[in-house]
Amino acid sequence: MGAPSAMPIFRRKTTPTVEPPYASGLRCQARGCSRYDAVACTYRDRRGRGCTAAFCADHSVVVDDGNYCRRHGGTMRALGARGKVKGGLPDVDNRGPSLVQHVANTLEPHIATALDAVARPHEQVIAEREVNKAFDPDRSSRWERAWRLVDGTGVVIKVAVFVEESRPDVVAVRVGSHIVFEEVPPWIASRQNPEPASEEQEEAARREFYRQLQVTIAQGVDRVRQTADHPAWAQ
């Protein structure tokens, strides 16, 4: 009987199998992107209509485990808590909540500073982090995010950034009971223009837009403080 064969000392290492990236076959709709692994936006509005956009991972956002285009991802983040809105999510073509949140996030430190600058020792600033749906006495609706300077008796000064449902491209600001600013943001106006502005022109217009907002809000807050004995201004 022959000697048992010797066991090999070394084993040949096998090359691990690498799964190819998931390819959905959908072309990413972002300008200049050539990837074919786009995923459809999962947004569905209160009427049950879904978004038809599809973007790759580089051009989409994930919110609460849902995959969204950037606009609707902005909407979900703006509304918070998985889009808690009485009556369901905004219409699929409604940019109001995401537009309010985008502008409000940029203005956040400036509004807080303007209110802090006029606050008295017994007053404090309370800032909303999410966009809410509000209604006027005539039942017209708007998407709004607000900051309030409050004391022990209630609101002293309120600053609100909002977009009305009837004018979805117009950003407005109310200080107290007075609307102090109304304008179509330059990045929206540029897309509506037959000859869109260059990136440099749009960036300059964007900076000027926010500069005007900051100056106008600060002036409005100062005016409310100076005329605090007029209740209509402090609501």
Instruction: Kindly write down the DSSP assignment for every residue of 65-132, as one continuous string.
Output: TEEE-HHHHHHHHHH-TTT--TTSSPPTT--HHHHHHHHHHHHHHHHHHHHHHH--TT-EEEE--S-E
Q: Are residues 173 and 126 in the same domain?
A: yes
The torsion angles phi and psi of 20, rounded to 5 degrees, stand at -65, 155
Whether 2 is in a domain gets the answer no
Number of H helices, E strands in the chain: 4, 10
Can you read off the two tokens belonging to residue 93?
Answer: 């073509």
3-state secondary structure 115-171: HHHHCCCCCEEEECCCCEEEECCCCCEEEEEEEEEEECCEEEEEEEEEEECCCCCCE
pTM above 0.85, yes or no: no
Q: CB atoms < 10 A from the CB of 191, how many?
A: 11
Whether 185 is in a domain gets the answer yes
- Per cent of the chain over pLDDT 90 is 62
Task: State the total domains in the chain.
Answer: 2
Between residues 191 and 31, the one the model is more confident about: 31
Whether 3 is in a domain gets the answer no
Q: Are residues 76 and 111 in the same domain?
A: no
- Residue 7 clears pLDDT 70, i.e. is over it: no
- Residue 2 clears pLDDT 70, i.e. is over it: no
Q: Kind of pairing, strands 124-127 and 141-151?
A: antiparallel
Between residues 233 and 75, the one the model is more confident about: 75
Domain boundary among the residues 81, 110, 128 is at: 81
Q: Are residues 184 and 139 in the same domain?
A: yes
Whether 35 is in a domain gets the answer yes
Q: Are residues 64 and 100 in the same domain?
A: no
Q: Which amino acid is residue 46, in one-letter code?
A: R
At residue 5, the pLDDT reads 46
pLDDT tens digits for 142-186? 999 999 999 999 999 999 999 999 999 999 999 998 999 999 999
Q: Are residues 66 and 103 in the same domain?
A: no
Is-contact 79 128, C-beta < 8 A? no
| Cα within 13 Å of Cα(177), Cβ side | 9
At residue 215, the pLDDT reads 97
Whether 132 is in a domain gets the answer yes
Is-contact 97 151, C-beta < 8 A? no
d(C-alpha 150, C-alpha 156), whole Å: 5
Q: How large is the average pLDDT for residues 27-36?
A: 93
Which domain does 46 fall in, by range?
20-81
Whether 182 is in a domain gets the answer yes
Q: Are residues 117 and 219 in the same domain?
A: yes
Domain boundary among the residues 56, 81, 106 is at: 81
Q: Are residues 213 and 158 in the same domain?
A: yes
d(C-alpha 71, C-alpha 98), whole Å: 7
Q: Are residues 59 and 104 in the same domain?
A: no
d(C-alpha 222, C-alpha 205), whole Å: 26
